[in-house]
Amino acid sequence: MRAHLVTYGCQMNEYDTHAIRSELAGIGYSFVDSYKDADLVLVNTCAVRGKPVEKAQTLLGELRKEKHRRGNLTIGLIGCLAQLPEGQRMGKRFGVDIMLGPGAITEIVPAIQRGKFQSFEFINELRFYSPPAPADSVSAHLTIMRGCNHRCTYCVVPTTRGPEVSRPAEDIINEARALAGAGVVEATLLGQNVNSYGLAAGTGSRRARIPGYPSFAELLRMVGRVGIPRVRFVTSHPINFDDEIIEAIADTPAVCRYIHLPVQSGSDRVLKRMAREYTREFYLDRVRRIRELLPDAVLSTDVITGFPGETDEDFEETLSLYREVRYDMCYMFVYSEREGTPAASHFEDMRRDVKVRRLSRLADLSKEISLERNLRWIGRRVEVLIQDTSEEEGLVLGHTRGNHVAAVEANLEAGIHNVVVAHATPNRLYCVEDPKDAVIDSTP
Ligand code: SF4
């Protein structure tokens, strides 16, 4: 039995696919690189933007043809798109056999054994896998919570992934210890809103704690003591990014000083229409506190350009916030209308050329500021994790604790190395070998 797995979207999906792979291996599947050689194809989908939905649709069209051609192909559509009416219509149209929403993917083995199966339940008690440490990598993902209680008006995640569920801390620590024991040197704690880990139902900045659960800040300190040299986390919501978390990062050497804090817009009017629950001032206060306690922290963000009703003045406010914060990196997107979201139902989409023009202005600003931020590192010793030792024009690629892409002019093995930054561009730090280099840890 041969399976081909395709993953679109975020790190949560990558983690789920990794878990599914180990479940399938447990029932005798091997894995192939092309659907043409597979008996089973699982497409783990993303529905956050239009692009990954289009990609899934194109692939399903090819799979339907392949199935007609040879008759013995099982097709599974899983993840966020499967949870939405749009995905369920697609499933019918393309003759999909297995449809599982992201809250039900732990049902994958029984679904495959039945051959034809659908589930869109949120199966809370089964929602967390403990997949084995990856055999071929020194870094790993570790899910600490799932779902989202917020209701950002542009986002399908609350519908596709359901309300927040935090994983018991003991399970997280056990999995972290297993990763450390297997030689993993970088673990990324995953969740839609990791900062609301351990918080009871509701939203806002004053939520009660679930009895018996640590806060996210306490969890960071706990995972930081396990022995994994680098601990990261994504993604954060500014409303729950409290001082306790910033202090935990400052006090815990293993936790990387890289903070991804999505702002989406710098205009209070747009933030309100997005239902982001914070104001520009609240957000800037969080950044001030980060800069006070972690002056060297690397900051990145997400911005949406052309949200419905965004005026030129609103967009100028986003640019002015961007200049004030001086982000190291930015993930920017034009607004993409998603069926079933409040924004799609209540607001009118704006012209694509306006959205794209704004994106391009933001990209120019971001490039200028990233270069300025990256130039600060020249001459400094940074720690780089090399995962893949293959060379690109004599350079090996890795990433720093601050998540910069580092291109190193040296013949290095996989693992963590100290190098010196010699040159920088907006997207990369170019590094040379440090004479005092010592491999802190390497492949198992
Ligand atoms: S916080 Fe908002 S953008 Fe993030 S997953 Fe929840 S609803 Fe979506």
Q: Which residue's CA is the nearest one to ligand 1's atom 2? A: 152
Instruction: Please report the pLDDT score of residue 206 as a whole number.
Output: 87
Confidence at residue 244, expressed as pLDDT on a 0 to 100 scale: 97
User: 2-123 has which CATH code?
Assistant: 3.40.50.12160
Q: Indicate which atom in ligand 1 lies nearest the CA of residue 156.
A: 8
Q: Is residue 161 lining ligand 1, measured as CB closer than 6 Å?
A: no
Nearest CA to ligand 1 atom 8: 155
Determine the distance from the C-alpha atom of residue 243 to the mean position of all C-alpha atoms in its chain, rounded to a whole number.
23
Strand order in the sheet with 2-7: 30-31, 2-7, 40-45, 74-79, 98-100, 117-119
First-to-last alpha carbon distance for the chain, in angstroms, is 30
Specify burial of residue 234 (Cβ count, 10 A radius: 0-12, 13-18, 19+). Answer: buried
pLDDT at 127 (0 to 100): 58
Ligand 1 contacts CB of residue 193 (under 6 A) = yes
Report the pLDDT value the prediction gives residue 419, as an integer from 0 to 100: 93
Cα separations in angstroms, 245 against 216, 251, 255, 290: 7, 10, 11, 10
Q: What is the pLDDT of residue 444?
A: 29
Q: Is 338 in the pocket of ligand 1 (CB under 6 A)?
A: no
Instruction: Kindly list the averaged pLDDT for each block of 10 residues, start to end, along the chain of length 444.
Output: 95 89 93 96 93 95 95 93 93 94 88 85 63 77 93 93 93 95 94 94 91 97 97 96 97 97 98 97 98 96 97 98 98 94 93 97 98 95 90 89 94 89 96 70 36
Please report, for residues 84, 158, 266, the alpha-carbon distance to residue 131 in angstroms, rounded to integers and kept in the order given: 27, 25, 39
Residue 443 C-alpha from the chain's centroid: 24
The pTM (predicted TM-score) of the whole model is: 0.90
* CA nearest neighbour of 284 among 246, 340, 241, 325: 325
152 lines ligand 1 (CB under 6 A): yes
Q: Copy the structure tokens of residue 401.
A: 């604790």
- The two beta strands, 329-334 and 298-305, are parallel
* Beta strands at 405-409 and 395-400: parallel, antiparallel or unpaired: antiparallel
- With a 6 Å cutoff on the Cβ, whether 148 touches ligand 1 is yes
| Alpha carbon of 421 to ligand 1 centroid (Å) | 36
Looking at domain 381-433, what is its CATH homologous superfamily? Nucleic acid-binding proteins (2.40.50.140)
Q: Where in the chain is the domain with CATH 2.40.50.140?
A: 381-433
H or E stretch including 300? strand 298-305
Atom of ligand 1 nearest to the CA of 192: 5
d(CA 206, CA 208): 7
The segment(s) of the chain belonging to CATH 3.80.30.20 are 125-375
Q: Where in the chain is the domain with CATH 3.40.50.12160?
A: 2-123
- Is the beta carbon of 158 within 6 A of some atom in ligand 1? yes
Q: What is the fold of 125-375?
A: pyruvate-formate lyase- activating enzyme (3.80.30)
